[in-house]
Every structure is written in C-alpha cells, then in structure tokens.
Structure 1
Amino acid sequence: MRASAATVWQVVHSERRQLAADLSGLLDEQWNLASLCPGWDIHDVLAHMVDTALTSRLSFARELVMARMDFDRANENGIAREKRQDPQDTLSAFREVAEFTRTPPANVATRLVEAIVHGEDIRRPLGTSGSYPRHAIVQALSYQLRTPVSFGGGRERAAGLLLIDRSTGATWGKGDDVEADPLDLLLAVSGRRVAQERLDGSGASRLVGAAAGASASRERRQ
C-alpha cells in the first residue's frame, strides 16, 4: 500500500531535519568531497536540495523554459542560485526550507526519492548512511521501477531483473536475481554507483553496470 501524501511529507521533513543535523559538524574540506551524484560535490547536492524544496509547479515550469527545456541545465541553474559562498549559509537555508511542502508537477513519491537518494549522495562519501523508514525506501524504489529514466526514474536499468529484498524476501520484476538491501537497490536503480559486493545474484553485475553507465553518462555531460 502506498503511503498518503501526508505520510510522505512527514518522512521528507524528518529526513531533511536529520540531514541538516548530520551536516552541522562538517569540516570545511568535507563540503568539497565528490558526492555519489556525478559532477556534484556535497555542497552542490545540498544547494540542489534547497532549490527543489523551494520549487513549486509554477516555478518549475518557468525555470525549465528559462533552461530551454533542459532538465540538467535547470538543475545547474538552481544550484548556482542557492549555493552560498559559505557552506554553513547553505546549510542554514536548508534548515529554513526543511518543512516546506512545495513540489514540481510530479508524483509526491519523487520527494521520497530525492530525500533518500540525495541523502545517500551526501552521506556515503562521508563514510555514513542514513536510517530511513523501510516503507519509504520501498515506495521510492517502486516509483523508480515504474518510471522511465528519461523522467528521472530507473525502469530501464532494472529491465529483465528480479530484485529481491534480502531482509524480507519481497520482490520486484522478473528475470535474473539481484538480492540486496532495498536502499542499495534504490540507489543502483536510480543510477548511483553501488559496490558489487553489496549485491548478490546472477543479475547483480548487470545492475551495477547499468548504474555505472548512468554515472559515466552524467559525468560526460558536466
């Protein structure tokens, strides 16, 4: 069963607050570490999260027109707009928008995808990982699996694969097995590099390769 919009926002707001707390003691040089999102450092990802928290349906359309219908360019413009010279100021801005419920014209599940995937984009290079509600990870993964890559999802990356939650046995899709923690499945389906040893099964290398290919493609566009 999918969570209601109210439940989704409750999780998103909680995750934003937790991420802000986790970043409060970051050293200056850590802000410049490469994130899991190719071409962006940790400071860039946080600025992007500020920008998307401020994005409404109307402003999304306006910014996309200004970017000549190029989603990547619109994202880069948003980072440039919200990235402060001092990362602590960007962090303060993130705290200020943590409770916002604005969203682009998309399924509210995209807010879960953003909170979780971008949270890991930031945390994993710092040697940590978030503790997200399982139902939120599953809803985000389910959304990514039914959404084309061209719309920010990961449907094609998981084509011909049977994804298995190693903790519960829950499955998605059909084909060659890929068994892993749901969070790692979500990251790989979303085009993030996941270490091969974190996934098991006959289809694991294919999913890892699809995720790595997505990362390499983005790096070439930077």
Structure 2
Amino acid sequence: MGESELWGMVHAERAALAEDLAGLNHAQWDAGSLCTEFTVREVVAHLTSGANLGPVRWMAGVIRCRFDFDAMVAYRLAQQLGTDHGETLERFRRSVTSTAKAPIPVVAMLGEVIVHGEDIRRPLRIQRDYPIATLTYVAEYFHRSNMTVPSERRTRGLRLSATDGPFSGGAQDGALVSGGTLALIMAMAGRSAYGAELAGEGAGVIAGSG
C-alpha cells in the first residue's frame, strides 16, 4: 500500500474522531482516558501535536528536553491544549489532513490515531465501526514492530488470530490469542481494558503485559 493511501486512512480516522468529539460535554472532555496519565482533552492535544511535528521540529523538541521523551510529549501537548476544550477541538480539526510526522512510518501514525481514538471513545462509551482493512493493516504492523509501542514484544511467542477479519500472525506453534482485530490491536498497545474480549490460552499473557 502506498503512502498516499495510508495518509487517506489517517485522515479518515482523524475526521471520524473529530466528529465524535464535537458532541462531548464539559465533563466528558475532562474525563480520564485509557491513556491513564491523560484526560480526554489531553489525548486530543497529544494527537494534534503529533500531526504538527515534522522531523526538524521533532528533533528540536528532543534536544530541548535533553532526550527525555516523556518531557517532550508533555511540552508539545501543552502547546496544543489551548485555553478551553473548544480551542483544543479546533486545533485538532485543523490538523485532520496534515501529513507532518516525526521520523516514523505513516502506518505508525495510523496506529496512533486508532489507539488514542479508542483511549477516548472506550471510557465515554462511544463506538466506531472501523473499516476492517484499516484495522488489519495496523495489526499487521503492530505485531512486527516495537516502534511507538512495544507491541512485538508483547506478542512474542504467541499466535494471533482475528475473528472478524483476515489478520493472523505470530508464532505458528505459540499459544493462541483470538478476538476482534481492534481488541488485538489495543491489547498489543498495552490496553488491558480489552482483555475480556480475547480468548485462547495466550489471552491472559497479552492482557497482562501492559
């Protein structure tokens, strides 16, 4: 798949999230997310930050924060938070079609918007009917890579099988982990809230590896 097609998926997911965010009330914006150190509003600002960081600005932030990546995330998040949730949302909307990124693959950007989108939607009980092709592409990437999240490490020695799409991977003789493609992605990203949606003898291993 070419980069233009992948960016189309990224933009579609950002647009869908922006639409869901438009209906939130004040309490929902201030609610906790699955990314436990961030509120919903802070996760949105984090996504906006990622959509506005090219390689040069990314490296400048790394140097400014003396290679403390957590400090850099906090610094860039604060830049995009705005004065209230309306401004936070507006900044995110302006970033929907951005193709700026840190020196990571475009598919990692797709994984980020899906995972952080669920970090927001799940606690607020908002459901999205994701295109299975989009989820499959992210699952294929996650189970082979530790970039952005240590997803390959979490699945090492396990056999993964989606029950709603074509994704499968991992060790052929490993303990089985089966479930919806989204649940597999979120488990690979360390979100234990999706553990109950997984089955197989390896389900407890990945669900407890966050």
- How large is the RMSD of aligned CA atoms in angstroms? 1.4
Which contiguous aligned blocks of 4+ residues in structure 1 show a shift greater than 4 angstroms?
none
- Counterpart residue identity of residue 186, structure 2: L
Question: Following the alignment from structure 2 to structure 1, what is the Cα–Cα distance between the partners of residues 120 and 158?
Answer: 28
Counterpart of 1:186 in structure 2 is: 185
Alignment of 1:127-142 (within 5 A): 127-142=125-140
Counterpart of 1:215 in structure 2 is: none
Structure 1 segments unaligned to the other structure (5+ residues): 212-222
Question: Following the alignment from structure 1 to structure 2, what is the Cα–Cα distance between the partners of residues 137 and 168?
Answer: 9
Alignment of 1:98-137 (within 5 A): 98-137=96-135
- Aligned length, in residue pairs: 208
Counterpart of 1:210 in structure 2 is: 209
Question: Following the alignment from structure 2 to structure 1, what is the Cα–Cα distance between the partners of residues 73 and 103?
Answer: 15
Q: Does 1:173 pair with 2:170? A: yes
- Superposed CA deviations along residues 182-201 of structure 1, whole A, max 9, x for unmatched, are 11100110111234320100
Question: Following the alignment from structure 1 to structure 2, what is the Cα–Cα distance between the partners of residues 183 and 177?
Answer: 16
Question: Following the alignment from structure 1 to structure 2, what is the Cα–Cα distance between the partners of residues 70 and 141?
Answer: 28
Question: Following the alignment from structure 1 to structure 2, what is the Cα–Cα distance between the partners of residues 159 and 194?
Answer: 20
Question: Following the alignment from structure 1 to structure 2, what is the Cα–Cα distance between the partners of residues 68 and 142?
Answer: 33
Aligned-pair distance for 1:148? 2.3
2:97 match: secondary structure: coil
Question: Following the alignment from structure 2 to structure 1, what is the Cα–Cα distance between the partners of residues 159 and 116?
Answer: 25
Counterpart of 1:218 in structure 2 is: none
2:192 match: secondary structure: coil
Q: Does 1:93 pair with 2:91? A: yes
Percentage identity across paired residues of the two chains: 32
- Superposed CA deviations along residues 156-204 of structure 1, whole A, max 9, x for unmatched, are 1001110110124642102100000011100110111234320100000
- Counterpart residue identity of residue 204, structure 1: A
- Counterpart residue identity of residue 158, structure 2: L
Counterpart of 1:20 in structure 2 is: 18
Contact 1:9/1:101 (CA < 8 Å) preserved in 2?
yes
